[in-house]
A and B are shown apart, each in its own frame.
Chain A
Amino acid sequence: MVKQILIIPSIFFLIIVSIFFYLLIIDRNPSEIPSNLINKTIPFFETESLFKNKKFISSEEFGNEIVLVNFFATWCKPCRDEHGYIKKFQSKEKLRIIGINYKDDPEKANAWLKDLGNPYSDVPLDKNGRIAIDWGVYGIPETFVISSDGIIKYRHVGPITKKIYKKINLLIATLKLKK
């Protein structure tokens, strides 16, 4: 009986080491937090729009087709870095993209989009950051994939990279198939 007890520390140790191995091998980002809104309906919001005269009401704008939502700001450098990919989503993949302007100056946002190109079909303004909080956003830029029935399917924190661009396209392809 004592012999069995004595071997316990080593078994315990090897189990923990295996778990560490698993975590090192898989593709994970230790600092990224998974969104709590995956597979939930998008949070409702109503706010001013940058370009259009009428208000942006989320229940009217989502739930018709697959949409990308991109939280961005002019003062955010990684947002500028990833903008090329956002434009590519619109021009190449013909996706509808809503760009939520986070804690920014609308005039600056206008100029920024004129300068860099505007891939967004609409730009609702989140001046005080409350919409971002409702979406669980903690570090812009953040990009969400919304299915055609208004469910959040995926969230990426940080600028879009080549890898993530491919991943999102793959996800959207599978979503289209499911329809």
Chain B
Amino acid sequence: MIPSLGNFTLWLSLFFAVFQFFSSRKNKNIKYISLAVIFLFFSSLISFFLLIYSHVISDFSVINVVQNSHTTKPLLYKIAGVWGNHEGSMLLWMLVLTLVNYFIFKLLNKKNSSFILKTLEIQAFIIIGFLLFTIFTSNPFLRVFPAQLEGLGFNPILQDPALAIHPPLLYIGYVGFSAAFSMSVATLILNNKKNIFWYNYMKPFVIGAWTFLTIGIALGSVWAYYELGWGGWWFWDPVENASFMPWLIGTALLHSLIIVEKRKSLQAWVLLLAILAFLLSVIGTFLVRSGILTSVHTFALDPSRGIYILIFTALLGGYSLILFGVKSRKFFDNNYFSSFSKEGSILINNIFMTVVCATVFLGTIYPLLVEAFTNNKISVGEPYYNSTVIPIMIPAIIVMGIGPILSWGKEDKLKILKKIIPSVLITLIMTIAIFLFYKSYSILGFAGIILSFWIISNNVLNIIRKNKAYSMSMFIAHLGVGLLILGITGSSVWQDEKIVKMKVKNEIKIKNYNIIFDQIVEIKGINYIAVRGNFLVRDDEKKIITKLKPENRFYPITNIFTSEASIHSNLFRDLYIVLGEGNMANGWVVRIYYNPLVIWIWIGSLLIFLGGIVSLNTNLKKLLKW
């Protein structure tokens, strides 16, 4: 009964979405529209909860539950498992889409009604598209009779808190950009005849989407680092790239919205970015779910689904981009910028973000292009992106150091020089200090450290000075970026690794630590048995600073082996141990990693997120006042 009710609510949502589409387009009756918006949200909320309910009670007459759940799964992961699969994740996608829809509606007032109604019309179209996709190709409420006795969904690797919350945060990001898309298309269609400040309405949505996309991506990386067993956290996998591209365009969009706000300039460019951000989210969805390429992240591969999403993407993108081609001329202005100004530096940032995005896009789809035109398959992996993206990012980051403190309009070069002298000094001092400590020199390390301390010192000084002329949220977020670069540089350039065979009571030295293999024990977990190695870590003063306990687990019910790394983190480095194969007689393979500065990647990401939240708060207040 419940699953049928769930299916019914999907159709109900479709009905309300169509209703919203026609009321915003034709009769423009606010009462009808508000009914449509609110019922649409609640209907999609109920679908979502009904699916969760089916998973929680382990209703194995529902195919989605059979494929993705298991009676022994802890409650938290039964729930998280709902959005960990393709069909269930579409319900989450719909929920966020209808929530964003509601927030757009809340902006409606007499003055902006034509603009907001047009936006709601386009948003309704998007919702209809995804609902049709869900109902006809990815319906989570499909049944199987007779009901199965047990489910198949038990991958312990996926039962992790970071992984549980990673999709919802990402979706707030991807779907949040839909509001910017709809507003951009609405503005282009209406030619902004009523002179609406569409960019003021767009900004909070962009900040919200971008902020959550940032933390969503960061959580995915955190999980990879702790779970996958060799300290990697970014692999340029096509699906990771699919999240990185909207983030890059979102960053450009975020910054250029500031210019549009203050100077009314670059409107056409921002309208294009707003279209591209969401379009890239949708193309990303297509790449992941269509079966066109394989990746660790791809959901069950099904070309018929792919064709549907592609048609929808083609309609959405084709229409919006052709509209842009035809209508955007009216939004051009004749303002030009001096390079040494805030506008100039933001424009530089935009150019670099877009170039990196284009490069990542090229790398991601290039294998598909080669396959389509020749009969060959090539692969584009990490080395390609390292060679192209990093050199392009470097000038962008340099500009990020001074850009924020430049004034609008031309800046006196001498004044700028005076402003930056303290941070230049700090940068030099910290760079020398780090190199004395790690004693290993590399060009990339050099570049990374200089850049990160350049950003860190500029922003810390501004925070300390309580520089009221600029927004605190910007300093926090930029500081976060500086720390992020510090962490990335440290962990990439100065990583040390020891791979050895150790018998119990053997010792090994890594950097200034002594690692002693104390003993091997058996562990019985809730649903697994494991072999655990107890390792003592001593520093050069012979003090035991920690015990590391990597495990190799076996889950009997599903025949899965996992390896759990043991990590000790502090501000300077992570010590990371993985237990390999072995036995009492010959000893065990032990891998020890010394990963410097890793924690700053996570702290930096968190600060970027906090900066975004503060900015979101500020911008929402501005909007409400208005």
Contact = CB atoms under 8 A, between A and B. Distances in A.
Contacts of A21: 307, 310
B610 interface: no
With most chain B CB atoms within 10 A of its CB, the pick from A19, A20, A28 is A20
B310 A30 contact: no
A6 B368 contact: no
B325 A10 contact: yes
B564 to A, nearest CB: 27
Interface stretch (B213-221, B371-379, B504-512, B515-523): B371-379
Interface in A64-123: none
A33 B290 contact: no
Contact of B368 (A10, A19, A25, A34): A19
Interface in B273-312: 276, 279, 286, 290-294, 301, 303, 306-307, 310
A139 B317 CA distance: 39
Contacts of A8: 325
A13 B326 CA distance: 15
A20 B310 contact: yes
A24 interface: yes
A9 B273 CA distance: 11
Pick the most buried of A10, A17, A30, A34: most chain B CB atoms within 10 A of its CB: A30
Given A16-B365, A20-B368, A9 B313 contact: no
Contact of A24 (B307, B329, B365): B307
Nearest to A19: B372
A44 B306 CA distance: 43
Nearest to B319: A10
B105 interface: no
A30 B324 contact: no
Contacts of A7: 322, 325-326
A6 B329 contact: yes
B318 interface: yes
A23 B369 CA distance: 9
A3 interface: yes
B369 A6 contact: no
B358 to A, nearest CB: 10
Contacts of B321: 9-10, 13
A24 B372 contact: no
A174 interface: no
A51 B329 CA distance: 79
Interface in A23-46: 23-25, 28, 30-31, 33-34
Interface residues of B, number: 34
B272 interface: yes
Contact of B325 (A6, A19, A23, A33): A6
A14 interface: yes
Contacts of B328: 6
B152 interface: no
A24 B325 contact: no
Given A30-B301, A34-B375, A34-B377, A10 B324 contact: yes
Contacts of A22: 372
Contacts of B375: 34
Nearest to A16: B365
Contacts of B317: 10, 13, 17
Contacts of B292: 20, 23-24, 30
Interface in B409-424: none
Given A10-B318, A20-B286, A34 B376 contact: yes
Nearest to B317: A13
B303 A17 contact: no
Nearest to B313: A17
A8 B326 CA distance: 11
B318 A13 contact: yes
Contact of A31 (B294, B318, B322, B329): B294
A13 B286 CA distance: 14
A24 to B, nearest CB: 5
A8 B358 CA distance: 14
Contact of B310 (A6, A17, A33, A34): A17
Contacts of A19: 368-369, 372
Contacts of A14: 314, 318
Contacts of B293: 30
A24 B306 CA distance: 7
A24 B290 contact: yes
Given A13-B318, A17-B314, A6 B324 contact: yes
A133 interface: no
Contacts of B313: 17
B322 A10 contact: yes
Given A7-B325, A10-B324, A17 B318 contact: yes
Given A6-B324, A9-B321, A17-B314, 12 more contacts: A6-B329, A7-B325, A8-B325, A10-B321, A13-B317, A13-B321, A19-B368, A23-B371, A24-B292, A24-B310, A30-B301, A31-B294
Ranked nearest first, the 6 interchain pairs of A and B with the lowest CB-CB distance are A10-B321, A7-B325, A6-B325, A31-B294, A10-B322, A17-B314
Interface of A: 2-3, 6-10, 13-14, 16-17, 19-25, 28, 30-31, 33-34
27 contacts: A2-B332, A6-B325, A6-B326, A6-B328, A7-B322, A7-B325, A9-B276, A9-B325, A10-B322, A10-B324, A13-B321, A16-B365, A17-B310, A17-B313, A19-B369, A19-B372, A20-B310, A23-B371, A23-B372, A24-B290, A24-B306, A28-B371, A30-B293, A30-B301, A31-B294, A34-B376, A34-B377
Interface of B: 272, 276, 279, 286, 290-294, 301, 303, 306-307, 310, 313-314, 317-318, 321-322, 324-326, 328-329, 332, 365, 368-369, 371-372, 375-377
